[in-house]
Structure 1
Amino acid sequence: MRSVNVSAKNAAAYGNFVGRAMLRRQPAVTVRAASSVSSGLDNSKILVAGATGGTGRAVVEVLAAQGVPVRALVRDPVKASSGSGLAGLGSTTEVLRGDVFQYGSLPPAMEGCTAVICCTGAGDPRDPLGPFNVDYQGTLNLIAAAKLRGVRQFVLVSSIGADDLLNPLNLFWGVLFWKKRAEEELQRSGLTYTIVRPGGLKNKLGQGEVAGNIVMEGPGSFGVPPAKKSGSILRSQVAEVCVAALTEPAAANKVVEVIAERGAPAKSLGELFAGVNWF
């Protein structure tokens, strides 16, 4: 079976990292309300992995506001249906229980989807296997399932600093190292991809703070010196970048780093993607 091949391949190479997880699939649950706004995603259905995380939820909100059908892949449907989850985001949004580390749950979740936006990330700093299991193995499982189901596009949320082996964040069980390995697998997959590397993620603005305009550059532009100092960006802005990547031709097969800066010139996302040339 495909699930055995994918897991076995990586278990052979990274046997000391592979853990086990338990998964019980439940039927999809539809959540309520929605608006229908014309977008460039007609006849599309988007799978959002990590949909109850901060960035994933922001992506679902942007898609729901455009009336785009969304399948939100979550590990905890109860959390997804709570007020802080995905409740109230529209009749076009369905919630499906699944786990990126359990390959068998993914091909059914991909059925009928045209694109994937992956917003997953290891969340427990006490788990030394988290970055491997989620940021690497989980992403590889999503890529394999997408190819099996004929999904056309894959947007991956990674992180500024993924190229920097000595970045302090790698003290968190090599989280950026594993994100970079997942990026490479996506680039080799044959899927049309966009890899979005945000700076420091912010849920909302502080008192008196003004949101800056999005600044987008190629990989390695921000991070450890001599690269430019990394800034921050709202999760809602990252979500806008991810959704735009599905329709902007200039976003295809690019790695982009994004921050927000007050005083930066205001540009459309199409202009920002077109301005990144890194080959």
Structure 2
Amino acid sequence: MKAFVAGATGETGRRIVKELVQRGISVSALVRDREKAAQVLPPGVNLVVGDVLQPDSLRAAMGDSTVLISATGAAPSFDPTGPYKVDYEGTKNLVDAAKANGLEHFIMVSSLCTSQLFHPLNLFWLILVWKKRAEEYLQNSGLTYTIVRPGGLKNEDNSDAIVMAKADSLFDGSIPRTKVAQVCVESLFQPAARNKIVEIIAKPDATAQPFEALFANVA
């Protein structure tokens, strides 16, 4: 298995890369700034300079990768086209390149509540609308996929148990980014994770379950 990670230098992406490296999986990270990436990513990661908004470069950047994890997301800004360009067009470009390269599995980090048009996050240039459109594009691509919809993201890890549910079941809650990374990487190994949308939060009063059970319990 060779993993290609988009959004690798983001707060969630760098944790995904770390989790992959800890499991001994070869990683190529798509980065825009090689020097910055070298400072935040583990040694031994293949740094590939590129941009999800430049589709012509993506197939070559993926090389011989066999799986892809996308943790891209529009950075907060005053550009109203940001979420459209990054969350939708960028993901669309990744999906097209992954399909052309014959990748085996595409993992997409999305968000809770993408189906809720009147969610407050859509005040920020329709960010959830474009994430939902990107999800649908991936689902219709013919690629094997897992869409991971986390709740509010926390930088600090904790001992709370992961709660996993089917699409449009969870509407609030939070989860450490480290646990999101674990779910993304684990989904590569769990047959029950394939072609599913999973929503995840972490709760202190939840009963911890193995990943095999968590994925299997999602219809």
Q: What is the TM-score with the length of structure 1 in the denominator?
A: 0.77
Question: CA offset at residue 270 of structure 1?
Answer: 1.1
2:197 is the alignment partner of 1:240: no
Question: CA offset at residue 77 of structure 1?
Answer: 1.1
Aligned positions of 1:74-153 closer than 5 A:
74-82=31-39, 85-86=40-41, 89-91=42-44, 93-153=45-105
* RMSD of Structure 2 on Structure 1 (CA): 0.9
The answer to whether the 8 Å contact 1:64/1:90 transfers is no
* Counterpart for residue 167 of structure 2: 219
Aligned residue pairs, count = 219
2:173 pairs with one of 226, 231, 239? 231
2:203 is the alignment partner of 1:255: no
Letter in 2 for 1:67: G
Letter in 1 for 2:167: P
Q: Distance in 2 between matches of 1:245 and 1:67?
A: 16
Greater share of residues in helix? 2
Counting aligned pairs with the same residue, the percent is 53
Letter in 2 for 1:59: I
The answer to whether the 8 Å contact 1:218/1:256 transfers is yes
Question: CA offset at residue 263 of structure 1?
Answer: 1.6
Q: Distance in 1 between matches of 2:71 and 2:110?
A: 8
Question: CA offset at residue 75 of structure 1?
Answer: 1.2
After superposition, the C-alpha distances for 1:30-51 in whole angstroms (9 at most, x for unaligned) are xxxxxxxxxxxxxx11000000
After superposition, the C-alpha distances for 1:200-240 in whole angstroms (9 at most, x for unaligned) are 000005xxxx53100000111122xxxxxx11100000000
* Counterpart for residue 164 of structure 1: 116
Letter in 1 for 2:163: V
2:17 pairs with one of 55, 60, 79? 60
The answer to whether the 8 Å contact 1:135/1:175 transfers is yes
1:177 pairs with one of 129, 132, 135? 129
Letter in 2 for 1:147: K
2:13 is the alignment partner of 1:72: no
Q: Distance in 1 between matches of 2:64 and 2:182?
A: 23
Question: CA offset at residue 126 of structure 1?
Answer: 1.2
Which secondary structure state, in structure 2, belongs to the residue aligned with residue 46 of structure 1? strand
| Structure 1 unmatched ranges of 5 or more | 1-43, 224-229
* Counterpart for residue 142 of structure 2: 190
Question: CA offset at residue 125 of structure 1?
Answer: 2.5
Letter in 2 for 1:81: A
| Structure 2 unmatched ranges of 5 or more | none
After superposition, the C-alpha distances for 1:131-176 in whole angstroms (9 at most, x for unaligned) are 0110000000000000111111100000001010000000010000
Structure whose CA Rg is larger: 1
1:269 pairs with one of 192, 197, 211? 211
